[in-house]
């Protein structure tokens, strides 16, 4: 796998989880700490922290120390790579299926 594919794969893995998608939604309103996120989701603070680590590894959030806590903010740029992968794969299938249709029409 190329670096790009690994990066894209990390984003897919990170966003495959509904709780992590909910965390992303919440952070799109502004930076929050793990405690603040946990208050608004039906999961524990420890679980939120684990999900934040997964999102951080995919490059989707970044933590900044704020006093005794870490405040996380969204860094959504890697999502573009995943979307462009989906667009490219879709375009490839559009072309292949058009050739298949013509092949079967003969």
Partner 1 sequence: MVASQCTGQRWKPQLLSCASNPIGEVGEVIGEGRVTREVLLPARRPEVWAALTQPDQLAEWLGGEVQFDARPRGRLAVRGGAGADRQGRVIAVNQPYRLVIEWWEGSAEEPPPVTRVEFVLQEEGGGTRLTVSEWPLEQTACTEALG
- The CA distance from 8 to 25, in Å, is 19
Rule CB under 8 A: say whether 83 interacts with partner 1: yes
Rule CB under 8 A: say whether 13 interacts with partner 1: yes
Handedness of CA 32, 36, 42, 47 (dihedral sign): positive
Rule CB under 8 A: say whether 62 interacts with partner 1: no
Would you give the distance in Å from CA 26 to the centre of its chain? Answer: 13
- The CA distance from 6 to 10, in Å, is 6
Rule CB under 8 A: say whether 79 interacts with partner 1: yes
> Residue 80 corresponds to which tokens in the numbers above?
């573009």
Q: Nearest approach, Cβ of 62 to partner 1 (angstroms)?
A: 15
Residues that bind partner 1 (CB under 8 A): 1, 5, 8-9, 11-13, 15-19, 21-22, 24-26, 28, 40-42, 47, 50-51, 54, 74, 76, 79, 82-83, 86-87, 89-90, 92-94, 96-97, 99-105
């Amino acid at each position: 796998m190329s670096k790009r594919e690994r990066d894209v794969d990390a984003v897919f893995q990170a966003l495959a989880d509904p709780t992590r998608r909910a965390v992303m939604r919440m952070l799109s309103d502004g930076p929050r700490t793990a405690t603040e996120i946990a208050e608004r989701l039906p999961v524990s603070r420890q679980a939120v922290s684990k999900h934040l680590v997964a999102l951080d590894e995919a490059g989707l959030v970044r933590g900044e120390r704020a006093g005794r806590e870490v405040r996380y903010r969204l860094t959504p740029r890697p999502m573009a790579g995943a979307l462009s992968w989906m667009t490219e794969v879709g375009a490839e299938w559009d072309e292949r299926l058009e050739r298949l249709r013509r092949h079967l029409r003969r």
